[in-house]
Amino acid sequence: MTEPTLSRPGRPRDPERMRRVIDAASRQFLEQGFERTSMDAVARESGVSKMTIYSYFPTKAALFEAVIGQRTDTVFDLDAGETLEPRAPAATLSVIGRRFLALMRADEVMGRHRVLFAAAGIQHEACAAFFRQGPEKLIGGVRDYLDQAVAAGALRPHDTRVAADQFLSLFLGGAHIRAMLGLGKPSPEEDARLVQANVELFMRAYGAT
Amino acid sequence: MTEPTLSRPGRPRDPERMRRVIDAASRQFLEQGFERTSMDAVARESGVSKMTIYSYFPTKAALFEAVIGQRTDTVFDLDAGETLEPRAPAATLSVIGRRFLALMRADEVMGRHRVLFAAAGIQHEACAAFFRQGPEKLIGGVRDYLDQAVAAGALRPHDTRVAADQFLSLFLGGAHIRAMLGLGKPSPEEDARLVQANVELFMRAYGAT
DNA sequence: CCGTCACGATACTTGACCGTATAGTAAAGT
DNA sequence: ACTTTACTATACGGTCAAGTATCGTGACGG
């Protein structure tokens, strides 16, 4: 908690500029990847001088890490909107599935996955941060819900951690790979059927009825 | 079926060279990605002059496509080794799961996925070819087996095509993402448990007993 | 109003890398 | 022998991009 205004001599920094840089860099990194994005292009799109960017971030990799750390926390809040009803797991899992699928179909999210997979050996810290704040947190959230449903007697999985992973992974099959390869996304109807099929599989296996 | 030896004048091509080039390019592309691989490095590693490479492939992208087309067909033959017994789906799916998991854990395969995801918007043809010969063919193979099992009365899925996709996607959860991000592979014991859990989920939902 | 810092504009340095050009050598046919 | 083709070695051209250097301007505090 340092002073918000340190009141140093000279002109203060403009936080708006920083935001514009991150926004432009985010768009370009996630759309074109790390190597194909140039600092000049980021400067041009953000309307900020390249020198200013380098005054914030010492190197291109640093800007990249800032982009990855950005917004990863706001990705997904399971409890947003509808409340998760422990006694109606089929309906609740449908909601979770629909929202997870909408998330995974977003261009920004697919871009993030692509660029981080490509950076696997090189940007270890960014990959680790993403995994913690993304997939791991999501699985944990679903697991928490499953625990409630088990406590309510509505589900009987062997292991809620494993079951949460299984449920979410069901949405990462052929259609997702196809989309990740840039070969087109499924229609909303196909996605709706996917949600239904996956919830049904899950409930058949782990339902208490 | 053209003549194997066309007997043209001049020195014949050395097929061994071509193979060495593809091998070196494959290793580097799948390990470091398209952009970070240089033609000079491929020439150095393969022990072949750069000019010779360009006499085979007009451009770097062409060499890349050749690498992708390569070996994609030999990836996975479902019927290799054990025969698939339609009356014992639990055991058979365990075998399929184990082998699919071994495939997905291979560095070469993960590299292929990484590099093709990264090439999503750029190398459309390579991505399409990979999807057809990889995931699509695999799902089709599992689906064929499920059809046999249904005919034998051992399984009752709603839709074998959907069920095959579901079964395979179960192996693409957190552990797979973690590995794809370069954060380490699970132990053989963890993978064995994963196979067991997934087969159990699948059999509970779709088993005929 | 003056020092200090933020920022823009732009040119520059440096290096990597794709693809080509050139000159010479090796291996096959006729 | 002579031609034709495959191949090596090496150097080169051209482009692009990361990061820097310089000069100028504008904003803020004391």
- DSSP string computed for B86-135: TT-HHHHHHHHHHHHHHHHHSHHHHHHHHHHHHTTTT-HHHHHHHHIIII
| Closest residue to D21 measured CA to C1′ | A51
Of A33, A121, A205, the CB nearest to B182: A121
How does DSSP assign A64-122, residue by residue?
HHHHHHTTSTTS--TTSSS---TT-HHHHHHHHHHHHHHHHHSHHHHHHHHHHHHTTTT
Best probe of the A interface among B117, B131, B160, by most A CBs < 10 A, is B117
Q: In the 8-state DSSP scheme, what is residue A10? A: S
Interface of A with B in 146-165 (CB under 8 A): 158-159, 162-163, 165
* Closest nt to residue B52, judged CA to C1': D7
User: DSSP readout, chain B?
Assistant: ---S----SSPPP-HHHHHHHHHHHHHHHHHH-STT--HHHHHHHHT--HHHHHHH-SSHHHHHHHHHHTTSTTS--TTSSS---TT-HHHHHHHHHHHHHHHHHSHHHHHHHHHHHHTTTT-HHHHHHHHIIIIIHHHHHHHHHHHHHHHTTSB--S-HHHHHHHHHHTTSSHHHHHHHTTS-PPPHHHHHHHHHHHHHHHHHHHB--
List chain A domain ranges. 15-69, 89-206
B178 to A206: CB separation less than 8 angstroms, yes or no: no
Over residues A50-72, the pLDDT tens digits come to 999 999 999 999 999 999 988 65
Is A115 near chain B, with CB under 8 Å? yes
Token code pair at residue B193: 């448990």
This prediction has a pTM of 0.92
Residue B203 C-alpha, separation from nearest chain A C-alpha, in angstroms: 8
Q: Which two tokens stand for residue B96?
A: 């399929």
Dihedral sign computed on CA atoms, order B154, B159, B164, B168:
negative
**Residue numbers in B near A116 (CB within 8 A):** 181
Round to whole Å and give the CA distance between B159 and A197: 9
d(CA B127, CA B113): 10
b/e map A180-189, b = 16+ CB within 10 Å: bbbeebbeee
CATH class of domain segment(s) A89-206: mainly alpha
The rounded distance, in Å, linking the Cα atoms of B178 and A117 is 10
Q: What are the backbone dihedrals phi and psi of residue B207, each rounded to the nearest 5 degrees, phi first?
A: -65, 150
Nearest-by-Cβ selection for B117 from A114, A130, A197: A114
- Residues in chain B with CB shorter than 8 Å from the CB of A206 are 201, 204
**Are A201 and B205 within 8 A, CB to CB?**
yes
Question: Which residue stretches of chain A have pLDDT < 50?
Answer: 1-5
SS3 A184: coil
Place of tokens 């579901």: B166
Residue B174 CA to residue A172 CA, distance in Å, equals 11
> Chain A contacts of B120, Cβ < 8 Å?
114, 180-182
Q: Any idea of the CA torsion for A187, A188, A192, A193, to the nearest 10 degrees?
A: -20
Q: Is the Cα torsion angle B35, B41, B46, B48 positive or negative in sign?
A: positive
Q: From residue B195, how far is each of A8, A40, B69, B120 by CA, in Å?
A: 61, 48, 30, 30
Q: In sequence order, which residues have a C-beta less than 8 Å from that of residue A109 and are 6 or more positions away?
A: A75, A103
For A152, phi and psi rounded to 5 degrees? -80, 0
Among the partner residues A117, A162, A176, nearest to B114 by beta-carbon distance:
A117
Half-sphere exposure of A202 (CA within 13 A, CB side): 29
| CB proximity under 8 Å: B 85-104 to A | none
Cα B190 → chain centroid: 22
Residues 171-190 of A with CB under 8 A from B: 171-178, 180-183
Among residues A61, A40, A119, the alpha carbon closest in space to that of B36 is found at A119
Can you list the residues of chain B whose pLDDT is less than 50?
1-4, 74
List the one residue out of A129, A209, A51 whose CA is nearest residue B181.
A129
Q: Is B128 on the interface with A (CB under 8 A)?
A: yes
Whether B146 and B92 have beta carbons less than 8 Å apart is answered as no
Judging contacts by C-beta atoms under 8 Å, the chain B residues touching residue A168 are 173-174
| B181: closest chain A residue by CA | A120
Positive/negative CA dihedral, B183, B186, B191, B193: negative
Q: Report the CATH number of the A15-69 domain.
A: 1.10.10.60
C-alpha to C-alpha distance for A51 and B167, rounded to whole angstroms: 52
DSSP line for A13-78: P-HHHHHHHHHHHHHHHHHH-STT--HHHHHHHHT--HHHHHHH-SSHHHHHHHHHHTTSTTS--T
If you measure CA to C1', which residue is closest to nucleotide C17? B38
